[in-house]
Amino acid sequence: MVGALNEYLRNIWTMAATVLDGMAVTCSHFVRTPSTIQYPDRTDIRVQDTLPYRYRGILEVDLDICTGCLACERACPIDCIVIDAKKDMETRRMMLKRFDIDIAKCMYCGLCSEPCPTGSIHHTPEFEGADYSLESMVRRFVNEPVAAYKPKKVEDDPKITPILDRGMRYIDEFASPEERKRAAG
Amino acid sequence: MLQHFLDTLIADGTFAGMPRDVVYLIGMLAAGALVVFGFVLNVAGVTTFVERRVWARIQSRVGPNRVGPQGILQWLADGIKLLMKEEAIPFAADARLFKLAPYIVTVGFVAAFVAIPFSSTLIVADLNLGILYITSMTSLVVVGIMVAGWASNNKWALIGGIRAAAQIVSYEIPAALSIFTVILITGTLSMQGIIQQQGWGPWDWFIFHNPFTFVGFFITFTALLAEGNRTPFDLPEAESELVAGFVTEYSGARYLFFFLVEWGNLYVISAILVTLFLGGWQVPPIPVITDHPVGRNILEFLTFFVKSYFGVIVIMWIRATLPRTRVDQLMTASWKYLLPMAFVNFVGTALWVLVWPDGFRFAELLLTAIGFGLVVYFVSRVVHYLRRSGAKITLSPLS
């Protein structure tokens, strides 16, 4: 009899104590900073700047260091890269007439940026490419025919050097450990 | 007061020859419309917005903040959206009862506002059975809920309606008993009478009058929470169980009525608690403001509003904290725990008033100190949890 009364009173005490303790926990949550990221207009820094270096966003081509080797066109599994490159017989230089990447077809696999010898085709952290028309999904990187880049043993053109450095750093990311050892040693 | 105002207007000749009763009727309808559209619906709507923001901050998110400055027009957008929806009535539903249910629920809810004392003069009608009138009118809501559940011709809606009836009827008894515990002290059912017997300081409030009313406050709070179908007792609407409970088949403006009544009811519950236990609109006699009647009325109104809105926020806080009770746990809590405790409080308060008719000052002060100590302990627990988590604090509600 007394045991039942004890249990009854203990039930009441447990209920009151646990409810109030729970309310203390939620009150402590009430004053904490919310963890919501209010994309896209109320973020502290641009979301693109928070992405890691190897993030495979929309493709970009640096035509200044493109050698016209067509390795990316051959590597693409979906044929979304279309390049018109012909060796001009008079100047003995490769001329790039067309370099189109269809970002709607692109599956962002990275297979094109891996074989590029200079790292001119690379992924950017950009991911906001949605638009209302299918035609705007084709990125055309060549306005008028340009000459392709002829790689030299030591690059001396000050305009090209930073672009080449970025490109080489990019393809270094894809190197296997043996290749890295070979490059270092 | 309204009658006096209308009499002066009739004497001025504003109502050129209309019979007196017609003028009174028009005056009453105008005052009622003003209260309903100017205050009740807006409070109910803004409460939905405040609930979403409070709930979101407790859950580490932000809540609606786009529709107006800080999202403050969100409730208007929701209301307009619901009004524009198609009002589908199920084919086999009882159409007349289906259409009637929202009206019953809304009448029960709005009628309670007639007797709520916003300040010493701002009360629509100071009925001499004020508190009994309010509990009766809020019980009209359960009739509407049952009609809605039955008329929907939907087994889950029916289950929701029946659960609501069982719940509200069983929690009506401890609620009424605890309310009458306070009436034992005051001797009057009139809302203004109850408040006038309290004072402005916490030691004069009825919650600290004797230990039985102290426990009675929490019993009343729990029982009224169950009457308003709020978590942890929200089985009738049970968002995650019965689709939407008794409002499953409702859409458009009819759903809007149920929606508004639920959130507006929070305010009525809180107003009842503030009137009975927390001193209502009593303000300290500050020389500059309280001498002038308008200033005093404004201060009293603000005191009442802030106290009852704090109660509303505590109810939202509980909703964010506790899980839902099962049906049998609900019934157990009412009949096996709240009811015996309410009886003990009733008898205890009756004996207390017999022994100390004017109140035992020492007990009041001791209980105030205990209450204050509980608040301090609670805050220390909150600080303990904050420190343990090491999280960043943002006190500003703006985002």
Give the 3-state secondary structure of B340-392.
Answer: HHHHHHHHHHHHHHHHCCCCCHHHHHHHHHHHHHHHHHHHHHHHHHHHHHCCC
Question: Residues of A at the B interface (Cβ-Cβ below 8 Å)?
Answer: 11-12, 16, 19-36, 38
CB contact under 8 A, A33 and B386: no
- Nearest-CA distance A21 → chain B (Å): 8
Mutate to test the interface with A, among B50, B52, B59 (most CBs of A within 10 A): B59
Which of B19, B47, B45 minimizes the C-alpha distance to B266?
B47
Domain end call among B65, B80, B95: B80
Query: Residue B287: is the preceding peptide bond cis (ω within 30°)?
Result: no
Contact list in A for residue B231 (CB cut-off 8 A) is: none
Q: What is the domain extent for residue B4?
A: 1-80
Least confident span in A126-140, B2-16, B226-240, B361-375? B2-16
- pLDDT the model gives residue A175: 66
pLDDT in tens, B307-327: 999 999 999 999 889 988 888
Judgement on whether residues B238 and B384 belong to the same structural domain of the protein: yes
What is the token pair recorded at B174? 């401890």
Q: Which of A76-90, A152-166, B138-152, B233-247 has the highest mean pLDDT?
A: A76-90
Same domain, B73 and B140: no
SS3 B114: helix
Instruction: Count other Cβ atoms within 10 Å, centred on residue A62.
Output: 20
Residue of B nearest to A28 (CA): B382
Å between B320 CA and nearest CA of chain A: 8
**Domain co-membership, B131 together with B73:** no
Same domain, B106 and B201: yes
User: Do B115 and B166 reside in the same domain of the chain?
Assistant: yes
Which residues in A lie closer than 8 A to residue B341 (C-beta atoms)?
A: 12
**Number of domains making up chain B:** 2
Angle at B273 between CA B267 and CA B275, to 5 degrees: 100
Is residue A174 pLDDT above 80, yes or no?
no
Calculate how close chain B gets to A24, using CA atoms only, in Å: 5
Question: Which pLDDT score, from 0 to 100, does residue B280 have?
Answer: 86
Specify whether B52 is located in the same domain as B187: no
CB-based contact A25 B394, cutoff 8 Å? no
- Strand partners of residue A147: A95
Other CB atoms within 10 Å distance of the CB of residue B323? 8
The answer to whether residue B189 is domain-embedded is yes
Cβ distance of B60 and A22 shorter than 8 Å? no
Q: Is there a single domain that holds both residue B311 and residue B361?
A: yes
Nearest to B57 among A19, A23, A34 (CB): A34
- Taking any CB pair shorter than 8 Å as contact, residues of chain B touching chain A are 54, 56-62, 218, 317-318, 320-322, 337, 341, 378, 381-386, 389, 391-395, 399
Q: Where is the domain boundary, B23, B56, B80? A: B80
Q: Which of B317, B87, B365 is nearest to B208 (CA)?
A: B365
Q: In the CATH hierarchy, which fold is given to the domain comprising A51-177? A: Alpha-Beta Plaits (3.30.70)
Kindly report the nearest CA distance between residue A125 and chain B, in angstroms: 27
Q: What is residue B340's predicted lDDT score, i.e. its pLDDT?
A: 93
Q: How far is CA A144 from CA A82, A92, A119, A120, B97, in A?
A: 16, 18, 22, 18, 76
Same domain, B92 and B46: no
Residue A165 pLDDT: 85
Q: Do B133 and B24 lie in a common domain?
A: no
Q: Which of B384, B395, B399 sits opposite A31 (nearest CB)?
A: B395
Chain B residues within an 8 Å CB radius of A25:
321, 385
Q: Going by C-beta distance under 8 Å and a sequence separation of 6 or more, which residues neighbour residue A93?
A: A87, A147, A148, A150
pLDDT band per the 50, 70, 90 thresholds, residue B238 = low
B103-159 residue pLDDT tens: 998 888 888 888 888 888 777 777 888 899 998 888 888 888 888 888 888 787 788
Kindly report the three-state secondary structure assignment for every residue of chain A.
CHHHHHHHHHHHHHHHHHHHHHHHHHHHHHCECCCCCECCCECCCCHHHHCCCCCCCCEEECHHHCCCCCHHHHHCCCCCEEEEEEEECCCCEEEEEEEEEECCCCCCCCCCCCCCCCCCEEECCCCCCCCCCCHHHEEECCCCCEECCCCCCCCCCCCHHHHHHHHHHHHHCCCCHHHHHHHHC
Is the domain of B62 the same as that of B109?
no
Is residue B398 included in any domain, yes or no?
Answer: no
Does the beta-carbon distance from A28 to B57 stay under 8 Å?
Answer: no
Domain end point (choices B80, B96, B120): B80
Within this chain, do residues B60 and B145 fall inside the same structural domain, yes or no? no
Q: Judge if B215 and B337 occupy the same domain.
A: yes
Q: How far apart are CA B268 and CA B312, in angstroms?
A: 9
Does some domain include residue B216?
Answer: yes
B62–A36 C-beta distance less than 8 A? yes
Please judge whether A32 and B62 are an interchain contact, meaning their C-beta atoms are less than 8 angstroms apart. no
8 Å CB contact between A148 and A65: no
- Does any domain span residue B300? yes
